[in-house]
Amino acid sequence: MDVLGYIISKYNYWGFVLLMMVGMYAMIVKNNLMKKILGMNILQTAIILFFVSTSAKTKATLPILEHGHGDHAIHAVDYINPLPHVLMLTAIVVSVATLGVALALALKVYKEYGTLEEDEIFEAQKKKLNPEMQEGEVNS
């Protein structure tokens, strides 16, 4: 089988896979929390696009019967499946909400540590822990 043809004929799916990988890469590798959040959003978007794309059809329309029953035969091929699109409305809401919570938390982290770089945050956490421990030893 012609591999190239195979890849090209499903180019949209390959695109989503690529997007997903980009998102995952950012979430795993990046040091900056904001970049991770962006990566997360890309990942979610990739999945949304995947769903939308599954029911996309050229030369088809919404499944609303203009003429009612009777006059025409109804061909499934003329209509797209609206369900994945509808589902993705929910998924979009979810992804926006996740983004909101993530940003709020990132803001809180920034207020606490003055940075969004993860290594600096760990550094700050260690620093914060150590004087605390020394203090604790004095106390106890």
Partner 1 sequence: MSSHFPAIIIIAPLIAGFLISLSSLANRRFCFPIAVAGLGIAFYSSIGLIVSVFEKGVIQYRLGGWAPPMGIEYRIDYLNAFVLIMVSGVAFVNIFAVKKTAERDLPEKLGPFYSLYVLFTAGLLGITATGDAFNLYVLLEIAALTGYALIGIGSGQNSGRAAHSALNYIFMGTIGASFYLLGIGYLYIATGTLNMADLARVLPSLFGSNVIMAAFAICMTGLFMKMALFPMHGWLPNAYAYSSPAAASLIAPLTTKVMIYVMIRICLFVFTPAFSFEFINIKGAMVIVASVAIVAGSLFALSQKSLTKMLTYIIVAEVGYMVGGFWLGNKEGMTGSILHIANDAVMTLCLFLAAGIFAYKIKPRGEILIKDLGSMFSRMPVTMGAFVVAGLSIIGVPPACGFFSKWYLILGGIKAGQYWFCAALIFSSLVNVILFFRIFESAFFGSTCSNHEHGSAHETGHHNDHEAVIDEAPASMLVPLLVSTAMLIVLGFGTKFIVTQIIEKAISGMI
Listed residue (108, 61, 109) closest to 85, CA to CA: 61
Please select the residue that binds partner 1; options are 12, 109, 115, 117, rule is CB under 8 A: 109
Nearer to partner 1, 21 or 72 (CB): 21
Nearer to partner 1, 7 or 97 (CB): 97
Spatial contact of 55 and 81, defined as CB atoms under 8 Å apart: yes
| Residue of the chain from 12, 32, 98, 115 that contacts partner 1 (CB under 8 A) | 98
Site string for partner 1, 68-97 (x = CB under 8 A): ---------------xx--x--xx--x--x
Beta bridge partners of 61: 79
Name the amino acid, one letter, at 52.
V
Pattern 25-64, partner 1, x by CB under 8 A? --x-----x--x---x--xx--x--xx--x----------
What is the DSSP secondary-structure string of 34-86?
Answer: HHHHHHHHHHHHHHHHHHHHHT--TT-B-S--SS-SSSS---GGGB---HHHH
What secondary structure letter does DSSP report for 65?
Answer: -
**Residue with the two structure tokens 């978007």:** 45
Q: Which phi and psi angles does 39 have, rounded to 5°? A: -60, -40
Contacting residues toward partner 1, per CB under 8 A: 24, 27, 33, 36, 40, 43-44, 47, 50-51, 54, 83-84, 87, 90-91, 94, 97-98, 101-102, 104-106, 108-109, 112-113, 121, 124-125, 128, 132, 139-140
